[in-house]
Amino acid sequence: MYDALVVALAVFIGVAGHELLGMAMLSRPIVVAPLAGLLLGDIQTGLIVGASLEAIFMGVVNIGISSTAEPSLAAGLATAFAIKMGGNVDVVIPIVFPLAVLGLQLMNMIFSFVCGPMAAKFFSFAKEDNQKGIINLHFFMWFIHYALYALIPFFAVLFGADVVKSVLDNIPKVIMNGLTVAGNLLPAVGMAMLLQMLWSKKIAVWFFSGAVIMAYFNLPLIAIAVIGAIIAIVMAQRDLQLKKMQTAPQANTITAGTRTIDDEEEDFFK
């Protein structure tokens, strides 16, 4: 029981602390594994497990729904099992990895099924200027998201990895898959809300240009941003000219005025 509790705690501190402290990387195996080791009374094994797993997960960045396995769960469990089984990391990792893959799926499930619907509450609180509500919801969502998640390592250590895996496997595939599909579609709502703010008939076509560039050229976002910025700057310069021409007729008075506008423009777009 104690083992299960502290491993769950280590994973919770990892994933939840990471988000609370500004993506402070607390959820990395190199942190979670030694922490779990420390709480279980064998920090050396924790360090070794942390080092091996960190190397494995080096390339994995957890952004939303875009990786294969969840590093901190893998780290917590691997440490616990390695200490129980006598410190052999290589044996433990194959046991832990499938669980970490399932863990990520479950994390995504919580992400889209629990956190997704709650997000709408933010708007109703905002509309009423209910700041307490926003703050409470903000931290409640944080807690529930990762506390639910920490149940996996808790039960995995308590009952053994096999039991937990078979339980998770028994959640109907269709439901799991359906929630993943839904999680992949949900950002559409966020995009729709952005569109609601930005959309105006005259410039709406640009939305599709962004889509085409991403869909067919698959450029990184930063490249598209640069292209977008160039378009925006060219457009702003043309608008500036139009504005100047509108004020042009009084030929004598504009020289001073245009100079400051030019300065501003250079200042801003340099």
Partner 1 sequence: MKLGQQISKEEKKLVRKMFWRSMTMYASVNPVTMGGGGFAYSMMPFINHFYKDKNDRAAALERHSQYFSTTIPFASFIMGTAASMEKENSKKPGFDVESINAIKTSLMGPLAGIGDSLFWGVWRVVCAGLAINLAHAGNILAPIIFLIMFNVPNYLVRYYGGILGYSLGSKYIQKLYANGLIEILTKAASVLGLIMVGAMTISMVKFDTILSFSMDGKEILNVQKILDSIFKGIVPLLISLGCFKLLQKKVGVIKIIFGMVILGIVLSLLRIA
For residues 155-214, which are near partner 1 according to CB under 8 A? 174-175, 177-200, 203-204, 206-214
State in angstroms the smallest separation of the CB of 163 from partner 1.
Answer: 26
Distance CA 107, CA 202 (A): 41
Distance CA 224, CA 121 (A): 33
Count of residues engaged in binding partner 1, rule: CB under 8 A: 115
Residue among 57 and 161 whose Cβ is closer to partner 1: 57
Q: With CB under 8 A as the contact rule, which of the stretches 78-86, 98-106, 127-135, 160-168 interacts with partner 1?
A: 127-135
State in angstroms the smallest separation of the CB of 221 from partner 1.
Answer: 5
State in angstroms the smallest separation of the CB of 92 from partner 1.
Answer: 16
Q: With CB under 8 A as the contact rule, which of the stretches 27-35, 87-95, 97-105, 147-155 interacts with partner 1?
A: 27-35
Distance CA 74, CA 161 (A): 11
Q: With CB under 8 A as the contact rule, which of the stretches 50-58, 79-87, 96-104, 153-161 interacts with partner 1?
A: 50-58
State phi, psi for 266 to the nearest 5 degrees. -65, -40
Closest CA to 107 of 70, 54, 71: 70
Residue 67 touching partner 1 (CB under 8 A): no
In the shown chain, the binding pattern of residues 241 to 270 toward partner 1, with x for contact by CB under 8 A and - for none, equals: --x----------------xx--xx-xx--
State in angstroms the smallest separation of the CB of 245 from partner 1.
Answer: 14
Q: Which of 4, 95, 115, 148 binds partner 1 (CB under 8 A)?
A: 115
Buried b (16+ CB within 10 A) or exposed e, 110-146: bbbeeeeeeeebeeebeeeeeeeebeebeeebeeebb
State in angstroms the smallest separation of the CB of 242 from partner 1.
Answer: 9
Residue 88 touching partner 1 (CB under 8 A): no
The enclosing H or E element of 84 equals helix 71-85
Q: With CB under 8 A as the contact rule, which of the stretches 5-13, 14-22, 77-85, 162-170 interacts with partner 1?
A: 14-22
Q: Which of 158, 171, 240, 254 binds partner 1 (CB under 8 A)?
A: 240
Q: Which of 1, 86, 94, 215 binds partner 1 (CB under 8 A)?
A: 215
Q: Running DSSP on this structure, what letter comes out for residue 42?
A: -
Count Cα atoms within 13 angstroms, Cβ side, for 199.
Answer: 7
Which one-letter amino acid corresponds to residue 269? F
**What are the E-state strand segments in 77-154?**
none
Residues 6 or more apart whose CB falls under 8 angstroms from that of 26 comprise 13, 14, 15, 17, 18, 32
